[in-house]
Amino acid sequence: MKRPTGILIAGLAALAVLATPAAAQDAPEKADITIGLPVTTSTFLPLYIADEEGFFEEEGINVEIVAFRGGTDMVRGMVAGAVDIGVTSLAGVAVGIAAEQPLKVFYGGFNMAVFDWYAVSEIDSMADAKGKRFGVTRVGSSTDFLTRYALQRQGLDPDSDVQIIQGGGSVERLAAMEAGQIDVNIFATPEKFMAADAGFKPILKQTDIAPDYPFHVFFATEDFIQANPNTIRAVLRGFVKGVRLAKADRDRAIEVLVDRVGMEEDYAGRGYDDFIDKVYEDGRLPSEEGMQAFWEIGIESGEYEEAWPKERYFDPTFVDTYEEWKPAE
């Protein structure tokens, strides 16, 4: 009896693959996934909805969503192996990459420019704020980068013309502002509405700087991305379903924000209306103008010497193949 030739063996292998059910071929490589978030906040709404509605389970994965005390701690958690996939600001991921950690962004879609700066009554503009105290989350955070950039755009030196104060989360900084310890604060939803209701006034909007911004991005270690493409597609399909329901059912979205974030219903609704139109299921990064503003912010704050080439921080695989793996409408 003749032995099978190499061509015959290859042909039989190909037939075996074709005979394997598609579900088996696309099965997640890792069923239990930890998704890390820097904080608990409203703009992660599609992930909360996906979790609440069982969309991740529909894709064959068990997801645990864990909130940290800031993006830096979350990146450290990933490097230590406690987090499989992270969702945080591009600035936060870039800090890890600059420190030679093997991280890559693989999906965007959270392109909202929702930060605004609020001030006490005697300050009418950023230009009026010389010598005043500005609140940010932490030095090196996205709120710090944005505030420094906004000051420079108004002709103020953030290192000598004002005092930058690390005030923690938005709620803590709002309380410090009400106690007279901070004069100007950068807020996103819902705290910017809370600041307005407390009598503080907006003196600058982030959209005055650029129309959009890489507010959150999905990222993981390069090894995880290479070894778990089906797992990542399962996570992203759950996310896409979450985006779709968030946009289609405002009442359900607000209910989730109240339950998961602890927001009052009024603020949840105002916040939802503020950011939902800048959430995209296809994972796109912001516009050229938005990305240019991002790099300029980092360059002027001294974080980067120049804009990074896209391949240094972004793996386009899942965005480029979105039409192939997205869930049915």
How confident is the chain (329 residues) per 10-residue block, as mean pLDDT? 47 45 70 94 96 97 92 85 94 90 96 95 92 91 86 91 92 95 93 94 93 95 97 98 98 97 92 95 96 90 90 98 95
In this predicted structure, what is the pLDDT of residue 25? 55
In this predicted structure, what is the pLDDT of residue 22? 42
Chain mean position to CA 292: 18
- Specify the fold of 116-208: D-Maltodextrin-Binding Protein; domain 2 (3.40.190)
Phi and psi, residue 41, nearest 5°: -150, 165
The residue with tokens 């870039």 is 94
Task: Please answer whether residues 158 and 148 qualify as being in contact, where contact means their C-beta atoms are separated by less than 8 angstroms.
Answer: yes
Residues paired with residue 186 on neighbouring β-strands, in sequence order: 117
Our separate counts of H helices and E strands in the chain read 17, 10
Radius of gyration of the chain (CA): 22
In this predicted structure, what is the pLDDT of residue 269? 95
In this predicted structure, what is the pLDDT of residue 116? 96
Provide CATH code, domain 29-113+213-325.
3.40.190.10
Q: Which residues have a Cβ under 8 Å from the Cβ of 289 and sit 6 or more positions away?
A: 210, 211, 212
In this predicted structure, what is the pLDDT of residue 170? 86
Percent of the chain at pLDDT above 90? Answer: 73
Task: Please answer whether residues 152 and 173 qualify as being in contact, where contact means their C-beta atoms are separated by less than 8 angstroms.
Answer: no
Which residue type is seen at 101? Q
Return the number of other C-beta atoms located less than 10 Å from residue 180's C-beta. 9
CA distances in angstroms from 86 to 205, 218, 221, listed in the order given: 27, 6, 9
Spatial distance between the Cα atoms of 2 and 256, rounded to a whole number of angstroms: 66
Q: Which residues have a Cβ under 8 Å from the Cβ of 241 and sit 6 or more positions away?
A: 50, 53, 55, 58, 327
- Looking at the chain, the domain(s) classified CATH 3.40.190.10 span 29-113+213-325, 116-208
Task: Please answer whether residues 129 and 185 qualify as being in contact, where contact means their C-beta atoms are separated by less than 8 angstroms.
Answer: no
Return the number of other C-beta atoms located less than 10 Å from residue 198's C-beta. 12
- Which pLDDT tens digit goes with each residue over 59-72? 999 999 999 977 87
Phi and psi, residue 278, nearest 5°: -105, 20
